[in-house]
Amino acid sequence: MISGLVQILLFQSLGELISKFALPTLPGPVIGLVLLIIWLVLRKGINPELASVADGFSQYFGLLFVPAAVGVVLFLPQLKANALAIVSALVGSVILTIATSAVVVRFFSSKPKEVDQ
């Protein structure tokens, strides 16, 4: 279990370093997560220690949203000032997502036509 935790913290730290010195516009944990995914794809699998730690984290996943919620409350005046643009973007993205999902489902669910001979 310690090995899995060390792996997660190592990739998060690498992401923070890259964010600090090379890509300051991207959050360090996001960069670390991408690096971890690349590493797992190259290894072609997840070791049991990492899976155990990931399962433990996923049980408390809701707590990870608390800082984001605090940030939303902190910037409430800016959100109110831009409410129309935010709502428009959200509605537009939902409509676009539904339409794209419908096209993808239709594309993959269509069966090839049988040719009669």
- pLDDT digits 0-9 by tens, 32-42: 989 998 998 89
> Per mean pLDDT, which of 51-60, 74-83, 86-95 is the most reliable?
86-95
Q: Residue 45: its pLDDT value, please?
A: 80
The pLDDT of 11-33, averaged and rounded, is 89
Length of the chain: 117
Query: How many C-beta neighbours within 10 Å does residue 28 have?
Result: 18
Structure-block tokens of residue 117: 């001979």
Q: Residue 101: its pLDDT value, please?
A: 96
Contact, 52 vs 1, CB < 8 A? yes
Domain count, the chain: 2
Are residues 53 and 89 both part of a single domain? no
Are residues 11 and 48 both part of a single domain? yes
- Chosen domain end from 22, 40, 59: 59
Contact, 11 vs 39, CB < 8 A? yes
The pLDDT of 19-40, averaged and rounded, is 88
Flag whether the pTM goes above 0.85. Answer: no
- Nearest Cα neighbor of 49 from 116, 3, 100, 113 is 3
Are residues 54 and 80 both part of a single domain? no
The one-character DSSP state at 33 is H
Q: Residue 17: its pLDDT value, please?
A: 94
pLDDT tens digits for 41-70?
Answer: 898 888 888 888 888 888 887 777 777 778
